[in-house]
Amino acid sequence: MLVLSPQVDKLKITGYPRILFTGKIETISTIPEMEKAVRYLGEEKVLGIDTETKPNFSKTAYKHKVALLQISTNDICFLFRLNYIGLPQPLTDLLCSDRQLKVGLSLQNDILMLNERSHFKMGKWVDLQRMARDVGIVDQSLQKIYANVFHRYISKSQRLTNWERDVLTDAQKRYAATDAWACLNLYNKLYKLKTTHDYILKTPLSPHKLIDSFVKDFLNTQR
């Protein structure tokens, strides 16, 4: 039986073994590549979703649009370079479809940012933050939730790198693929736990501490 905690200490997380996606990574920079990838993904039932955006370190109000959309299966992750191909119709059709369940963390924010490129209504989707709360986890970051459930560490060292560079580094690709795949992996595990109830929640927080913790962690994810 799995033992879960409402929260995990960030210092403790770094002591866990690091997890990296070891499957195939395909970088999509052209329309023909995009069309082929969408046909492949259209056959899947559940897809892990994540996005990356070039950080803005200046004091101006300018915000970059989403540069990378990661969509992962268990074995392959496609990195769609939206700064090159935009958000073309076949890709939005996939996102709008109810044939596949899309899973991600804080996915509502990703959907809003993707809509800045092309307006669409996301098809069937699930936010992992809600699923985590359903089993008593109040941490809201992918890194913390994953560590809580799997006792594995997801490094965020590449998060603030340039996602619009001409050629993504191998480290960027592996980081981006890991996040999307981890969302899929986490969904499968949380779904199983909710179905079987094969877990114990260690030291549940009081309602007051639960609210304080949720607000604090939510604010941290918005930085």
The pLDDT tens digits of the residues spanning 118-155 come to 999 999 999 999 999 999 999 999 999 999 999 999 99
The CATH number given to whatever domain includes residue 41 is: 3.30.420.10
Residue partners of 110: CB distance under 8 A and separation at least 6: 49, 50, 51, 66, 104
Go through the chain and tell me how many residues it has: 223
Q: Residue 187's CB: how many other CB atoms inside 10 A? A: 22
Total domain count, the chain: 1
For 153-184, how does the pLDDT look when each residue is reduced to its tens digit (9 = 90+)?
Answer: 999 999 999 999 999 999 999 999 999 999 99
3-state secondary structure 73-127: CCCEEEEEEHHHHCCCHHHHHHHHCCCCEEEECCHHHHHHHHCCCCCCCCCCEEE
The CA distance from 149 to 166, in Å, is 36
Structural domain harbouring 115: 2-221
Claim: this prediction has a pTM higher than 0.85: yes
